Amino acid sequence: MGQDYYAILGLTRSVIDADIKKAYRKLALKYHPDKNHELGAPEKFKHIAEAYDVLSDPRKKAVYDQFGEEGLKNGVPEGSGESGAWTDGYTFHGDANKVFREFFGGDNPFNEFFDGLDGDLSMGFGGLAGRGRKKQDPCIERDLTLSLEEIFHGCTKKMKISRRVMNEDGHTSSIRDKILTITVKKGWREGTRITFPKEGDQGPNNIPADIVFIVRDKMHPRFQSEENNLVFTAKVLLGKALTGCSVAVPTLDGRLLNIPINDIIRPGYEKVVPGEGMPISKNPTSKGNLIIRFDIEFPRQLTPEKKTLIKEALLS
Give the pLDDT confidence of 73-98 residue by residue, as tens digits: 887 776 545 545 556 788 888 888 88
| Residue 105 to residue 117: CA distance in whole angstroms | 18
pLDDT digits (tens, 9 = 90+) for 190-232: 999 999 999 988 887 788 899 999 999 999 999 999 989 999 9
CB 114 within 8 A of CB 29: yes
Average pLDDT over residues 282-300: 92
pLDDT band, very low/low/confident/very high, at 124 (cuts 50, 70, 90): very low
pLDDT band, very low/low/confident/very high, at 316 (cuts 50, 70, 90): low
Average pLDDT over residues 170-195: 90
Domains of the chain (ranges; CATH) run 5-133 (1.10.287.110), 140-217 (2.60.260.20), 237-315 (2.60.260.20)
pLDDT digits (tens, 9 = 90+) for 14-28: 888 889 999 999 998
Burial of 240-277, coded b for 16+ CB within 10 Å and e otherwise, reads bbbeebebebeebeeeeeebebeeebeeeeebebeebb
pLDDT at residue 104 greater than cutoff 80: no
Instruction: Please give the pLDDT value at position 288.
Output: 95
Instruction: Please give the pLDDT value at position 133.
Output: 63
pLDDT at residue 267 greater than cutoff 80: yes
Of 177 and 1, the one with more pLDDT: 177
Average pLDDT over residues 284-293: 93
Average pLDDT over residues 245-260: 94
- Contacts by residues 35-42 (CB-CB < 8 Å, ≥ 24 positions apart): 35/110, 35/114
Average pLDDT over residues 65-78: 81
Instruction: Please give the pLDDT value at position 40.
Output: 85
Residues of the chain with pLDDT > 90: what percent? Answer: 49
CB 265 within 8 A of CB 241: yes
